[in-house]
Chain A
């Protein structure tokens, strides 16, 4: 997550999950936490029970917004104006933490100049929120001793995702809400091991532990350990490969456990691009839409059939254990990778995942003290953990930021790339629901979970439904500039007028045929969250 890495020097959650329940003010922005991160939602609700104040910024009414003391129902895609307006209030009322700004950060003047150049009333108007609500939220957040901000894909999946994150960091730093327990900035990770995949260098620009591939000394270190020459040029990002791979000179791909045909925006393009590769190999537990395009499909072992570590949102490295033998002829991805490597004349002969971990510890300073035997009788270790004697790190940036001083990066409003117009009059937001997980491959295979939620629905304000003569429960055609899908409507006040919402779990209504692959220029995160659509009833 580029934004936090720039400002703090590390892109991970600053606190532990349990700390949230001890916070005084919790500000949740762009996260439908009860559905996407149930355990974190539980801590938030527990904190509220203990007397904490909850501020939720979300265009929709959500379960969590019902618990909120202040619900900032902002217009979709206006997070920066909201955060800037809050910071204007904090500056105006002298609620900034001067000592913290002075001792721990840099570039504050440029933030202040940017903020003063923006008109408070104009900012408030863009967000569509009552000014007094923004003022109250700003005062509550700034005055608390212990305050945390939690955010999720609602913040990062915009054209301005990186700037959104930087603005959140600005708000936390001007009020000194970073370096303590119960206090910080917490990006909530979507899938189980997103944190670990990043930590392990499954990224085009870095080796494990965020060590840059462009740094010669680092390259030299890995080159010596791996006994071979390593490529220098940073690689292509996922969308450069899935959307334009062939155009970018890619001829062969190996996709392990992902289903980009369903999960990427503008899915039809992904299908076409992957379909025209010379060669595609996929390993997965199911014959996913992506696997159906492959030349070779490897049957992978499931999470219950293998041992290894996962790193959760709070940087906790934990041991997942093999409970049963793989079904059929399935093999673990580790065995598959090793078999390919051995046949490519580069021997990989690890007997156990624990031996791989030893190599990781050797080469990755933040994992330097993490070994399987240490994880066996504990609840895991939170990185950074530089050596065997180190107990791990529950919260980050204690005495100084990972990058030294925290960097203020001022931001201005960047409207979503595609806004409603007369041809496409509705703003579509996408998100996830409680019972399903990402593209639904694993969860839909579970009978009980599918029974609870059989198909996708489109949330629509009852007034909009009436205006367009759409009955509650009626099937409608949802059309964007890129494609169309059919989906059942649900009239509900959860969404404001002019905005519709749907989830992205269902193959029958692949919403990513509609969404906009326009990307954030830094994080290369596609704008999934909002795009313009037209809606017409299907008779």
Chain B
């Protein structure tokens, strides 16, 4: 059986340890620390060792949900996106960008944070964007 080691970064705290995902047939089977990484130096904490388990949690969301008659029900991507876009377009034309707010995440990548603030400023015309670092 072919085992692949994908170099990556632990996403659980600001230490940013380097680690390898062990991937076999499209599934992560374990992780190991990177020996020469300047932070991890062959060592992960307990959170890092188990970091990949949440990926396979049965509680993962696997399809979009939209609220219908008060309840969240399964929907297609197309439907979820068009409801969202219609709602934002409506608020934007009636009340302007100052009526829209966005929260970004310290768990997302730099590229995603960049794009979300660009979406806020360039598209939704608001500087109402923040994340939970203060918290």
Contacts and interface: CB of A to CB of B under 8 A. Distances in A.
B108 A256 contact: yes
B1 interface: no
B117 A449 contact: no
B64 A299 contact: yes
Contact of B134 (A291, A295, A526): A526
A323 B23 contact: yes
B10 A250 contact: no
A299 B43 contact: no
Contacts of A399: none
A336 B111 CA distance: 13
A263 interface: yes
Contacts of A346: 122-123
B113 to A, nearest CB: 4
Interface string B52-76: 1111110111111111000010000
Q: Which of A42, A255, A304 has the most chain B CB atoms closer than 10 A to its own CB? A: A304
A306 interface: yes
B131 to A, nearest CB: 4
Given A253-B100, A257-B105, A285 B45 contact: no
Contact of A201 (B61, B107, B114, B128): B114
A226 B118 contact: yes
B28 A324 contact: yes
Contacts of A528: 135
A318 B99 contact: no
Contacts of B132: 191, 238, 258, 260, 263-264
Contacts of B3: none
Interface string A298-309: 111011111011
A238 B110 contact: no
A304 B8 contact: yes
Q: By DSSP majority rule, is chain B's interface helix, strand, loop, or mixed?
A: mixed
Interface in B66-118: 66-67, 72, 77, 80-85, 87-89, 91, 95, 97-118
B6 A449 contact: no
A410 interface: no
B87 A252 contact: yes
B122 A18 contact: no
Q: Which of A17, A235, A239, A379 has the most chain B CB atoms closer than 10 A to its own CB? A: A235
Interface in A209-253: 213, 222, 226, 228-231, 233-239, 241-242, 245, 249-253
B99 A222 contact: no
A528 B135 CA distance: 8
B100 A250 contact: yes
Contact of B47 (A213, A285, A300, A435): A435
Given A310-B9, A313-B14, A231 B97 contact: yes
A252 B15 contact: no
B10 A192 contact: yes
A331 to B, nearest CB: 7
Contact of B65 (A196, A296, A317, A338): A296
A40 to B, nearest CB: 6
Nearest to A235: B127
Contact of A295 (B83, B111, B124, B130): B83
B128 A235 contact: yes
A323 B66 CA distance: 29
Contacts of B43: 39, 42
Contact of B119 (A309, A327, A341, A445): A341
Q: Which of B56, B81, B105 has the most chain A CB atoms closer than 10 A to its own CB? A: B105
Contact of B62 (A199, A309, A329, A379): A329
Contact of A449 (B7, B18, B47, B110): B47
A302 B99 CA distance: 30
A286 interface: yes
A332 to B, nearest CB: 7
Contact of A202 (B28, B40, B101, B104): B104
B110 A39 contact: no
B106 A222 contact: no
Contact of A437 (B13, B97, B101): B13
Contact of A313 (B15, B104, B111, B131): B15
A79 interface: no
14 contacts: A202-B131, A228-B122, A249-B98, A255-B102, A258-B103, A279-B91, A285-B54, A302-B54, A311-B110, A314-B16, A327-B55, A327-B62, A329-B63, A525-B134
Given A197-B106, A334-B109, 18 more contacts: A38-B13, A39-B45, A191-B107, A194-B106, A197-B131, A200-B104, A245-B101, A249-B99, A256-B102, A256-B112, A310-B109, A313-B16, A314-B16, A322-B6, A323-B28, A442-B54, A445-B59, A526-B134
